[in-house]
Amino acid sequence: MSLLKQLFLAICVFLVVAFSGSFIVSLETSRSQLTDQLRAHAQDAATALGLTLTANIDDPAMVELMVTSIFDSGYYASIRVVNIKDHKVMVERTSDPDDDDGAPAWFARLVDLRPEQGAALIMRGWEQAAQVQVASHPRFALGRLWDMALGSLAWLSGCALLSAIFGGWLLRRQLRPLDDMTRQADAIAQREFRLLDNIPHTPELRRVVLAMNQMVGKLKQLFAEQAARSDRLQEEAFQDSLTGLANRRLLDARLTQALLVTEHNGPGYMLTLRLDDLAGINQRLGGQHTDGLIRAVGDLLRELMSSPHRQQWLPARNRGGEFSLLMPGITAQDVEQLAADLSQRVATLFPTGASDHQPVALIGITDYHPGQARDQIMRELDQALAMAQAQPQQPWAVSSDYLSSDYPYPPAYSAHDWRDWIDAALTEGRLLLYCQPVVACTAPGTVVHRKVLARLLDNTGEAIAAGRFLPWIQRLGWSTRLDRLMLEHTLVALQHQPQPLALSLSSSTLNDPLAMAAIIETLNAHPAQARWLTLEADERNLPVAATLQFLARGIIGSGYAFGLQHFGGLFSQIGNLSHLGLAYLKLDGSYIHAIDVQPDKRLFIDAVLRTTRSIDLPLIAEMVESAQEFEVLQELGVYGAMGRWIGVPVPL
């Protein structure tokens, strides 16, 4: 029972006891007064009748007439005239005891108001002739006592009701800071740090609220410091200090991740841009101008990420004047057009006459596919750069083994074919659901949940993995269609086989208010599956903070959970993510790969863990590919892990 209810109940009990005691005392006092009045009434009547009968005591008719006259004029139970000598009753009048007095019988029994008697002597000269005995009837007193009790009860009940209402309102008003502190504590549990602006005037509550605000401020400061430390470690380990692009370490990790044979990985291209004669430019124009040139190239590569279907690309600076661009999901025609455009734009950055004997920038491009060796890609890039250097009229070249015999997924479709069969598959619902387990690091056999993956059936009935068709779906703008189809199939699967699942939503859906409204409406229509399903957003393509908060509240408000996957680039923004009520964070696999042999990654993840633990947010590692990586995650205390070493995708 809440404190407010306990205090309110105590006030009510006190009012009942106080008013009951007051009512009983008032009733008993009135009863005593009425008893005295009845006694005086009987005695006065007896005295008056005795004086009147003194002159007519020897006239029986007159005695009877006068007794009857007195009896009929008042409330008497009985009037008797008794002869003194022989104690015989000369005249007697009695009333009916059942006369209506207006009070119920139970009340009469309760107050027990009895007739009171009075007596007077009738003299004949100096001799006592008779005695008058009068008993007052209590019925009129009972009526008055009943009316008085009703009035007193009504007044006291009204006072008690008003006191209870006013007391309850006052208690609720005075205890409102406790409700605010409860919401503040709940917000802390939801990774949101709120300060109470409404400070109560009550000294005791004021001290408690100020102490709570101080504690929340300290937690917020500690959390911000941990997040800033994680951000600094990330910048030092994975970010180039001059351009702000990814460094060679992160590029290698992402390339290795892209070469893993997984559901979401598909073919793509890698581009290397090398600024030629950078040392000569540095000698002629100075280091400051050279740094500005390098930053300008970095900004140019960053601009390429503006298109929605290019948000998965990774621009990086390898060293000196060498840059790389990892481009999953791009076609051969698009990559050639991109190379030509990039070559022209980079050339405009160089000062006139910077290098007269050869191109000022060289671009080499090669393709890659899951399962390919990283060293082979590096050799192909070196060959492409050599080809570009040998042809000054076109300072870019493509070295491709796209049709080599070791490539397991040759391009069987043209762009038109991709569009037609994907449209037909989404329209007809030709979708197969697969799932990959996420296990607890402390108990490897315990499945936390299963990640839902999709495969589309093409016109021949072949199941196409997501890594091959997702780039085309993003290019065609059909990501929302795929999200809704996967959600519908997942909800149907949960109806037949309830189990914890996680389903990711694309950035197109998250940034489309109408699409998200339809998603939330679908979730509200299936409350029974809410406890089993978690919806995930990709940290690389999150909407603006206000929109993200609105979407998170809509999903959580429908009873479903909300999480982030591919986390790793927004450590400085983790404070803004803390109030979303996230179920977990899934750390991007590029920060997990080779963690057993790279101490800097281990140090970085340890800092991230301290930050997430301070807000009680579970951290799950993605793309765990070896037992050694899993052992390190166990030592660090990571909550969960997923990857092909943990378990390969299987049909749901």
List the end-to-end C-alpha distance of the chain, in Å, as a whole number. Answer: 46
Is the predicted pLDDT of residue 404 greater than 50, yes or no? no
Provide mean pLDDT across the span 480-499.
Answer: 93
**Highest mean pLDDT, choosing among 387-401, 511-525, 537-551:** 511-525
Whole-number Å distance between alpha carbons of 183 and 180: 5
Instruction: Name the residue type at position 184.
Output: Q
Q: What is the DSSP string of 298-314?
A: HHHHHHGGGSGGGTT-E
533, two tokens: 């399903």
**pLDDT score recorded for residue 488:** 93
| Band of pLDDT at residue 399, cut at 50, 70 and 90 | confident
Whole-number Å distance between alpha carbons of 264 and 260: 10
For residue 171, give the H/E element and its range: helix 139-174
Is the predicted pLDDT of residue 266 greater than 90, yes or no? no
Whole-number Å distance between alpha carbons of 251 and 68: 125
| Band of pLDDT at residue 408, cut at 50, 70 and 90 | very low
**pLDDT score recorded for residue 406:** 40
Whole-number Å distance between alpha carbons of 242 and 244: 6
Q: What is the DSSP string of 386-428?
A: HHHHT-TTS-EEEE--TT-TT-SS-----HHHHHHHHHHHHHH
Average pLDDT, the chain: 81
CB 254 within 8 A of CB 314: yes
Least confident of 95-99, 186-190, 602-606: 95-99
Over residues 154-166, the pLDDT tens digits come to 887 888 788 778 8
Whole-number Å distance between alpha carbons of 623 and 589: 5
**pLDDT score recorded for residue 439:** 94
Over residues 284-325, the pLDDT tens digits come to 777 788 888 888 888 888 888 777 667 788 899 988 888 999
CB 494 within 8 A of CB 532: yes
**pLDDT score recorded for residue 522:** 93
Please enumerate, as own/partner, the contacts of 550-559 that have beta carbons within 8 Å and a separation of 24 or more: 551/510, 551/516, 552/580, 552/581, 552/582, 553/581, 554/516, 554/520, 555/520, 555/523, 556/581, 558/520, 558/523, 558/524, 558/527, 558/530, 559/523, 559/527, 559/530, 559/531
Nearest by Cα to 264 from 571, 482, 440, 460 = 482
Provide mean pLDDT across the span 528-550.
Answer: 87
Over residues 551-580, the pLDDT tens digits come to 888 999 999 999 999 887 666 566 566 678
**pLDDT score recorded for residue 571:** 61
**pLDDT score recorded for residue 504:** 92
Provide mean pLDDT across the span 358-381.
Answer: 84
Is the predicted pLDDT of residue 113 greater than 80, yes or no? no
**pLDDT score recorded for residue 575:** 59
CA angle at 311 for the pair 309 and 315, rounded to the nearest 5°: 125
Under DSSP, is residue 183 helix (H, G, I), strand (E, B) or coil?
helix
Is the predicted pLDDT of residue 55 greater than 80, yes or no? no
Portion of the chain with pLDDT greater than 70, in percent:
89
Whole-number Å distance between alpha carbons of 86 and 204: 85
H helices within 175-308, ranges in order?
176-189, 203-238, 248-258, 278-285, 287-303
Instruction: Name the residue type at position 380.
Output: E
Question: Is the Cα torsion angle 501, 629, 239, 337 positive or negative in sign?
Answer: negative
